[in-house]
Amino acid sequence: MDTQPSYPFDRLLALATLSTLLLATAAGFGLNRWLELTPWAPVIAASPVMVMMLASEPARRREHGQTFGAANGITLFRSVWVGGVACMMSAAPTDNAAWVVVGLAMVALALDGLDGRVARATESTSIYGAQLDMELDAALMMVLSGLCWVWGRAGLWVLACGLLRYAWVAASLAFEWMRQDLPPSWRRKACCVLGTGGLVAAVAPLKYISEAFAMMATGILCFSFTVDFLWLLAARPRSIR
């Protein structure tokens, strides 16, 4: 009987995840005391960590021989900052709260550019690591688009920025051809960064141009998803055309 663990980094990953959850919860407590948010702020702050880990679990189970790596550690640390942005959903839309969101989100964006570089530099890239990164990006966009709507920066349509990723996942469950692997694309990453940056600018207390930034972000992300959808549509097996 094979007594070896299926994934050699299981225990390290569990420890890192628990540490990240505790750190995110502590950040929620801190922001709650500072800005008088909802008592649920610590739970909300930990939610992006759980969403990211649970959504990435299928990729972890499919991939063998991973090492945890510094890049995954950076991604987990980044989720703490995303959690900080999430718990600001309960804050009043004051200029002070808006600048707090901008600061937290900008650190998360900076770390987003770091984890990929570290993974490539240390030759520790993995499907699982890429999935963690993508799920956290989606969570950040969902939170930022929610803030744009709740704080009155843009209309209900801005939620499309956050919902596009989850609508894509739902469609892939319904249609097998949607589960084909997409080719690597710098356009996809650039649109993600520009879309997220646009949402950050929309949340900032910039008064009359907030909606313009929200519209820009929505347009960029819709364009990127449309390009990928059309590629999959053209590449679907002939038997289902």
What pLDDT score does 65 carry? 60
Cα distance between residue 48 and residue 53, in whole Å: 9
Give me the residue label for tokens 């991604």: 75
**How far, rounded to the nearest angstrom, does the alpha carbon of residue 39 sit from its chain's CA centroid?**
24
Is residue 198 situated within a structural domain?
A: yes
Rounded to 5°, the CA angle 130-138-213 comes to 125
3 pLDDT more than 80:
no
Structural domain tally of the chain? 1
Tell whether 4 is covered by a domain. no
* Domain coverage including residue 37: 10-240
Residue 209 lies in a domain: yes
Cβ neighbourhood burial of 45 (10 Å; 0-12, 13-18, 19+): buried
**Residue 3, in any domain of the structure:** no
Question: What pLDDT sits at residue 167?
Answer: 95
> Measured between alpha carbons, how far is 109 from 216 in angstroms, rounded to an integer?
18
pTM: 0.90
How remote is the C-alpha of 161 from its chain's centroid?
A: 12
Chain centroid to CA 78: how far? 10
For the record, the structure tokens of 190 come out as 């650039």
Mind listing the pLDDT tens digit for each residue in 111-163? 988 888 888 888 778 888 889 999 999 999 999 999 999 999 999 999 999 99
d(CA 96, CA 127): 39
Q: Which of 123, 133, 134, 138 is nearest to 66 (CA)?
A: 123
Q: Which of 54-68, 72-86, 113-127, 150-164 has the lowest mean pLDDT?
A: 54-68
Question: Residue 114 domain-assigned?
Answer: yes
**Distant-in-sequence, close-in-space partners of 201: CB < 8 Å, separation ≥ 6:** 210, 213
- The predicted pLDDT at position 143 comes to 96
Q: What are the counts of helices (DSSP H) followed by strands (DSSP E) for the chain?
A: 8, 0
Question: Cα–chain-centroid distance for residue 196?
Answer: 10
Scored b (16 or more CB within 10 A) or e, 74-85 reads bbbbbbbbbbbb
Which CATH number goes with the domain that contains 216?
A: 1.20.120
Instruction: Give a yes or no: residue 87 inside a domain.
Output: yes
The C-alpha atoms of residue 165 and residue 148 are separated, in whole angstroms, by: 18
Would you give the end-to-end CA distance of the chain in angstroms?
A: 47
Residue 5 lies inside a defined structural domain of this protein: no
d(CA 197, CA 109): 8
Provide the 8-state DSSP code for 180. Answer: S
Least confident interval from 98-102, 113-117, 175-179, 188-192: 113-117
Domain assignment present for residue 140? The answer is: yes
Residue in 149, 142, 79 with CA at minimum distance from that of residue 107: 79
| Mean pLDDT value of segment 195-202 | 96
